[in-house]
Structure formats: structure tokens, C-alpha cells
Amino acid sequence: MTNDQSKGGVGDGWVGRYLEDFEVGDVYRYPNGRTVTETDNSMFTHLTMNTNPLHFDAELAKDTKWERILVNSTFTLALVVGMSVTDVSQNAMANLGWEEVKLPNPVFIGDTLYCETEVLSKRESNTYPEAGIVSVRTRGINQDGKVVIDLKRSVMVYKRDSAPGRDRFPTVDE
């Protein structure tokens, strides 16, 4: 994870956190917002066979409380968890579960979502000596500062010396 490029050397890009890198109480904020498009919502809704017309029928949606298409909540879950991967589960052995998923505010097409994750706990695995279990709370926040999703997630994360795929960058044949 060190990078000696400032001294003229070659360093790795961000490779994610290993078990040793997590500290309870740390908060990671994903730096890029992601604007939800009509295509995102439509494709995800139809790929998952969600038949609620509130996610794809603009005329019906006009007659609802929202007066417009509501973004599929499982897309919101997938997007926010995906945004957290670089900080939380880039080096995961497995996702163990999502708990207490709450959706306090709706997401609409055109909303831009941001993600922050707080480390709640960390421990060594009793079953896999090469890994440990990290529990986090992840929140998706829209452009207006409203929380649109709040969940707890547990991930089994490799220890640095046990992670597969390290040093995979190919040797350049010159």
C-alpha cells in the first residue's frame, strides 16, 4: 500500500484495505457521486423482473404520492454497496450479510448518491486463520444531504499476507 512515486519509484495504486487496515470508528467517504439515470433504473428493474409499475410506468407514477418514477430500492442497495467496495470489500473472501436495511427517503431518476461507511467492529475469524470479520454501517446520501439508505454489513476480509492475487501486475516485456 505504500507508494514511492514521489521519489521516482513505481508504486501500486489503491489496492483496498486488508483486515489489519480497519480501525473501529473510522469513516470512509467514497469521493465520487453517482447520478442515477433512467437507464440504470429501467435495466435493473427489468433484469430483476420487478413488476411494480412504480419503477417503469411514468403515467401510473404521476398518480402516486411521488408523482414520478421511483428508483428501484434494490438498485439503490446495489449501487451504495458497490460504491463502498474500494474501501470495505476489495479484499473480501466473502460477504456474510446485510442487516437492518432502511430506506428513509426515496431515490428518483437524476438524484446523485454519495456513500460513507463507518467501521463498527473487527475480529479474527474463528474458522479461517487467513481472514477476519469486519462489520460496517454504510449510508447512501443524496445531493440534498438526505440519507436514502442505511444498512449494516458484515464482510470476511483477508489478512494482507494471505490475500490472493497480490503482485499480479505483469512484467513488462520490452
Indicate whether 82 belongs to any domain: yes
Indicate whether 91 belongs to any domain: yes
CA dist 85 → 51, 78, 82, 89 (Å): 29, 11, 5, 5
Indicate whether 1 belongs to any domain: no
Indicate whether 3 belongs to any domain: no
**Neighbour tally for 155: CB within 10 Å:** 23
**Domain, as residue range, for 150:** 18-159
Indicate whether 84 belongs to any domain: yes
Indicate whether 75 belongs to any domain: yes
Residue 47 sits in a domain whose CATH number is 3.10.129.10
**Count of structural domains within the chain:** 1
Q: Which tens digit of pLDDT belongs to each residue from 74-87?
A: 999 999 999 999 99
* pLDDT grade for 6, boundaries at 50, 70 and 90: low
**Neighbour tally for 22: CB within 10 Å:** 20
Q: Which tens digit of pLDDT belongs to each residue from 11-54?
A: 667 788 999 999 999 999 998 999 999 999 999 999 999 988 89
* Percentage above 70 pLDDT, the chain: 92
C-alpha to C-alpha distance for 152 and 100, rounded to whole angstroms: 6
Is the whole-model pTM more than 0.95? no
